[in-house]
Chain A
Amino acid sequence: DGGITQSPKYLFRKEGQNVTLSCEQNLNHDAMYWYRQDPGQGLRLIYYSQIVNDFQKGDIAEGYSVSREKKESFPLTVTSAQKNPTAFYLCASSRGLAGGGETQYFGPGTRLLVL
């Protein structure tokens, strides 16, 4: 999992502002995922992508958007429509369908706080 990076480590959002969280991997993985973790809770799936230029909504996609223009990158935008964005955001990747590997490896996370 050392091949997955997320930035920034901490991010502050003002009211009405869109912010973008970065996720990059150099593991040559096809699949990438975004999860949200609230304090004392499990991980909930926001969006996932099995291949470049394709992505699917997860369980809590409202107020978020993603893009997958490159295999290595899967940025997450938290829009102003997300009214309660304070959480720990984790990006993960796996070899995916073609690679036959479902094991997901996580990045170090971004902690988003609302000012």
Chain B
Amino acid sequence: GENVEQHPSTLSVQEGDSAVIKCTYSDSASNYFPWYKQELGKRPQLIIDIRSNVGEKKDQRIAVTLNKTAKHFSLHITETQPEDSAVYFCAASMGTGRRALTFGSGTRLQVQP
């Protein structure tokens, strides 16, 4: 089955700096890659997603890049703010068969004011 690895497990940046979180996946059949933000005790919230026919997607301060050949995708947050502090999860799913998400282990982002 699919395996998703996520790095780093913790990330501390100064307010205004950029943050980058990287994930790799194992199954070349995966074609949908969402990113979720989870605050303490809350539900995961979708922040951005990308499909395998696209190499990059942006939404204001957030961007995701996908390298299908290398089977990795990354989340980029620019001009970080204290409210960006949370745990971020990447995930992958296939277009056929199970279609459920396989999640990475999460990255705890701390933005220092």
Contact = CB atoms under 8 A, between A and B. Distances in A.
Interface string B10-51: 000000000000000000000010101000001111100100
Contacts of B105: 41-42
A73 B106 CA distance: 29
A45 B102 contact: yes
B43 A102 contact: no
Nearest to A96: B99
Interface string A10-29: 00000000000000000000
Interface string B79-113: 00000000001000101001111111110000000
A90 B43 contact: yes
Interface residues of A, number: 26
A97 interface: yes
Contacts of A65: none
B98 A42 contact: no
Given A42-B106, A43-B89, A59-B1, A103 B46 contact: yes
Nearest to B102: A45
B89 A33 contact: no
B49 A106 contact: no
Given A59-B1, A102-B32, A1 B43 contact: yes
A66 interface: no
Contacts of A107: 43
Nearest to A50: B99
A108 interface: yes
B99 A97 contact: yes
A90 B100 contact: no
A59 B102 CA distance: 10
